[in-house]
Structures are given as structure tokens and as C-alpha cells.
Amino acid sequence: MLFNSIPFLIFFSFYISFIILFKNYWKKITIIFSIFFYGYWNLLFCLLLIFEGLLIWQIGELIQKKKLLRKKILIIGIIFPLIILFIFKYFNFFVDDILQINLESSVLSDIILPIGISFYTFQAIMYLVDIYRFKLSKINLENFLVFFLFFPNLIAGPLVRPNSLIPQINRGIIFNKKNIRTAIILILWGYFLKLCISNNLNIYVDNVYNHMTEVNSPTLMMGSFFYTFLIYSDFAGYSLISIGIAKLIGLNIPANFNNPFFSQNLTEFWRRWHISLSSFLRDYLYIPLGGNRNGLLRTSLNIFLVMFLGGLWHGASFNFIIWGSLHGLFLIIEKINNSYFQFDIKIKVIKKLYTFLLVVIIFIPFGIPSFEDLLIFCKIINIFEIFNFSQIIEKFYVIRNFLLILILILIEIFLNKKNFIKIMNSSFLYGFAVTMLLTIILCFANFNETSFIYFQF
């Protein structure tokens, strides 16, 4: 069920109505609606989700009760969801592409990827680790299921720390004017990103990446340039709608993006991009591996391993492995430079432009559908021709897309954190912001029910 679909709007209207009418039972209502939300896509995988959730909660209980065995129970508890993730997401890739074994005639070759499995697997791991670290205790089953099944962030995040969300669930929902006003802005902002930016850019990008042998180098690079804004607007849009829905009932989900294209280096980019994932990788993988505490070589290995696994988490494909590895490599280069050479570009605009162009290039394997297509891209592209803009095809769509990106940048500047507070404290500015977003959505929206990109992860 897509946020940008009529069925979801009907579903959400019923959910809010039931919450208002039966406020004391909001947890049970949320669990039921979340199960329906996921089961609407696939009932069988919904049962798998519920089974995994119940088992994770029980393992969490055992960690608290069995003091002498708690570490072993934690390890078993982490391995269990990872095995399920491997079977559904990585088994075919591992056997077909790594081991080169043909499974075309096998039942296992028809494995379907459950949507959201990467996200709720990480949610499960965070819950168990937080229990083990004594950040959580005595969590009843109802509170846990609201956390684990909560439909706004179930499919594509943001990843939410259990020690942040579960206490809010235990406290109860809060309906007030401030939360509703904030939620409306966030949801409209999210729909603007999805309907006006992502859906429109997707037309051009799909046309380029699906016909690479028929287009020239400048057009390929233009498609890659637009894809960077496409993946941002698509995922940030989903995150904002998710955060807005939670805010409507008084639950605070942290921001997932913070103007990442204004970053002055790649390290800063990862502090601003997919913040919930980057902070998860930092706190639950990078720091336990040793972080930066054991010298530059060990730090570099830790960085590369974390980014390699971060790439693999996105998908069972060499493209994602290359994407993650490239990020790891350039983060290591930045680390070495900061440690030994301290080379720095003094002009901030140039630093931001360099970082943005680097991100565009690194995202090329991320956006191209397959490894075979990536090889075709590398074979066709000619770096000496990419700036020959006169050869770019479909110039009307290019001009329109640049106009939309300009609107995006202006809105991102207008709705920054400082201005956002001013908007929320002024009825006039709030009314202007809502009117502006609604007008832009009505003028530029592409209402096709296209799936969110991160649903495939």
C-alpha cells in the first residue's frame, strides 16, 4: 500500500478516525491497522513478520531473565533475523552470482523479497542490543508490537531507536494543535518531494537507463545527475510522510535527512544522508568494531567494512557493493588527508560542489538496474563529451526537471530548521507555507502511483 495511493488515503482516514473515537485503545488499533497495512501486500509474509516480531520479543525477555546466558542469547537472537534476511534477500545472489550455480529449475529461484525486511531486521537487532545494554527493560508485548509493526516506518524507515520510541508508546498518544500543524507541513512537504520531484524525474531517468545503448554520453550523465535528486526526493519524501503521520498522534521520529547536498565533504554528507541508517551503522557496527580507537589502518578497515556492508544491505547486487565500497574508499581518503596532509579548499562553494559531483558519480551504480547495465554504461560513456549539452535529448524534460530542482532547493532553504520554527510560531507564515506547498503540488504533481524506490530494499 503506497502513501501516494487512494487505498492508503482511505486506510489512513479510517485509522485516524478509530484513534480519535477509541483513544484508550490506540495501541491495539495501531497493531491491527499495521498488520492490515502489511498484509494488504502479502498475507504470507505478514505472518512471517508477526512470527519474527513475537520471537524477537521473547528473546528479549530471555536476555533479561537469563543473566548468565544473556550474551549467548543475544548472539542467537541476532543470527535468527539475519538468517531470514539472507534466505530471502541474498541466497539467490550468493548461489547464482558468487558460486555460479544455476538454480533456474529450483523452487528457491522463485524466492520473493518481502518488502521492508531489511528495515525490520535492523529494528529487531536494535531492540535486542538495547535490551542487552540495559537501555530497555520490562517491555510488554503490546508496546513492543506497536514499535515493531508501526506502519508509517515499517516498510522503508526511518529506523527508529527502540529506547526512543517505546517510552513514547508507553506514555501514550498526544493530540494537540502544535502536533497537527507540524504533521501537516511534514506530510505536504513529503508529498511534494514524491509527487512533484521524484515522479517527474523518474520519467527521464527511466527513459535514459532503460535505453542506454540508444543515447549519448551527455544524456547518460544528465540521467545520472537527475537520479541523485530522484533518490533523495523519493526517500526523503517517504521519510517526511512517515515522520508526519507519527507526529500527528504525538510520536516523534527523528529526521532522516538534513540538506545532504549542502555538505562540504563526504563525511558530512553521511551525517546528513539517511541519518537513521548511518547512525545505526556507527553505533551498532563501526564503534563495536573499534571505531577510530586503534590507529589509522584499523580505522580505515572499519570504515570500509561498514560501508561495504551498508552497500550490501541495500541490495543483493554487485552494483550496491560497488556503491558502498566507493563511499568507503573516499571516506578513507578523507580520513588520511585529515590525519596527514590537511589539504583543504578554503572556498565553501567549491567544497560543496566537489562533494555533490562526487556523490553524483558514486550514485551511478546505485541507480543503474543491473551489473550488466553498469558495464554497458561504462563502455558507452565518454568523459570528454559529457559536457556537450547541445547533444542532450528531450531538452523540454531537462528544462522542466531543472525548474523542479530549483523549486526543491528554494523550499529546502525556506523550510530549514530555523525558519521552520518561525513558521510554526506564526499563523501567517504557517498559512503561507501550507498554501505554497499545496499550490506547487497541484501545479507540478505527477499522480501516478509509482512505488517508492526504497521498497525494494
Residues designated as active site: 314
For residue 452, give the DSSP letter.
P
Please say whether the dihedral angle defined by the alpha carbons of residues 382, 388, 390 and 392, taken in this order, is positive or negative. Answer: positive
**Residue closest to 203 by CA, chosen among 404, 412, 454:** 404
Residue 320: its H or E element = helix 318-336
- Rounded-to-integer distance, Cα 326 and Cα 339, Å: 20
Q: Are 62 and 54 in contact (CB under 8 A)?
A: no
Instruction: Quickly count helices (H) and strands (E) in the chain.
Output: 21, 0
DSSP conformation class of 257: -
Buried b (16+ CB within 10 A) or exposed e, 223-237: bbbbbbbbbbbbbbb
**Cα distance between residue 319 and residue 371, in whole Å:** 6
Measured in residues, the chain has a length of 457
Whether 325 and 283 have beta carbons less than 8 Å apart is answered as: no
59 closest CA partner among 49, 69, 74: 74
Alpha carbon 155 to its chain centroid, in Å, reads 10
Q: How far is residue 282's CA from residue 272's CA, in Å, rounded to a whole number?
A: 14
Would the CA dihedral through 27, 29, 35, 40 be positive or negative?
negative
CB 119 within 8 A of CB 85: no
Could you count the other beta carbons within 10 Å of the beta carbon of residue 403?
A: 12
Beta strands in 159-211 (DSSP E): none
